[in-house]
A = this chain, B = another copy of it.
Amino acid sequence: MENSNKKLQQGVSAQVIKRLPRYFRYLRLLLNENRLRISSGDLAKMMNVTASQIRQDLNCFGGFGQQGYGYNVTYLYGKISEILGVNENYQAVIIGAGKLGQALCGSPVFTKRGVEVIGLFDNDKKIIGKIVDGLNVASIDTLGDFCKKNRVDIAALTLTSKNAPLAVELISSVGIPGIWNFTSYDINQTNTNISVQNVHLGDSLMMLCLSLREKYNNEKEHHSGGITE
């Protein structure tokens, strides 16, 4: 536990770990194009980083990049998948079968990372019983029973923020160890043993608005302060 912030996996630092999902995406792209070897230089160009960064990051896995030969894409993809837990066959449920929950249920975002959505829950009688991508929307009251019969690793929270605290309590009580949080509600992780990953779409949109505001202000300044030709 105590070393989880330092060396996470097989001597790979947390800094490198954070960059792995991006490597994973690019390596999958290469595999899709049947490119089985790539040099650090070519990968660097694709990913818009330096070749030395690539070499530094990927050397953590042991030196499987060979001078003049490049990286073995399949091996690297497999290794990174393993570290990221892509091949663990995790199972997820979606809590909140509104538009976002339904969109997520049918999205390849899960299958591409080896996660299977096995349940979809809601508290709205109008939605319960509906079929979404082959899954029956079940009543949230049945989540406990469902978790006794099925291993559930992840609960994706796609309900309103107002209902989030109650849902988190429920998730904790039925023993689901991971939450993928799409609500704006901040889950207090110090009180629970749940792993939480927040999406916080609103925060992301606000950061975009902020950078637009900066951009517009700069353009205005540049305009008013510039030399007219």
| A-to-B contact residues, CB < 8 Å | 1, 4, 8-9, 17-18, 20-22, 24-25, 47-48, 83-86, 88, 90, 98-100, 102-104, 106-107, 109-110, 112-115, 153-154, 177-180, 184, 186, 188, 190, 193, 195-197, 199-216, 218, 222
| A206 x B48 contact (CB < 8 A) | no
- Which B residues touch A85, using CB under 8 A? 206, 209-210, 212-213
A141 to B114, CA, bound (A): 36
B contact residues around A8 at 8 Å (CB): 210, 214
Q: Chain B: which residue is nearest A2 at the CB level?
A: B218
* A9-B210, A21-B203, A85-B206 known, 14 other contacts, Cβ within 8 Å: A17-B210, A18-B207, A21-B207, A22-B186, A48-B188, A99-B103, A99-B107, A100-B104, A113-B205, A153-B212, A154-B209, A180-B204, A180-B208, A197-B211
